[in-house]
Amino acid sequence: MEYVNAFWVGGAICAVCQVLIDRTKLTPARILVSLVVLGVALQAFGLYQPVVDYAGAGATIPLLGFGYSLAKGVAKAVAESGLLGAFTGGVTGAAGGIAAAIVFGCLFALIARPKSRS
- 30-75 per-position pLDDT tens digit: 999 999 999 999 999 999 999 999 999 999 888 898 899 989 999 9
- Residue 75: name the closest of 108, 52, 42 by CA: 42
- 69-112 per-position pLDDT tens digit: 989 999 999 999 888 888 888 888 888 888 988 999 999 999 98
This prediction has a pTM of 0.78
What type of residue is 21? Answer: I
Range 6-19 burial, b when 16+ CB lie within 10 A, else e: beebbeebeeebee
How many angstroms separate the CA atoms of 111 and 118, rounded?
22
How many angstroms separate the CA atoms of 84 and 93, rounded?
14
What is the predicted pLDDT for the residue at 61? 86
Contacts of 40 by beta carbon, 8 Å cutoff, 6+ apart: 67, 68, 70, 71
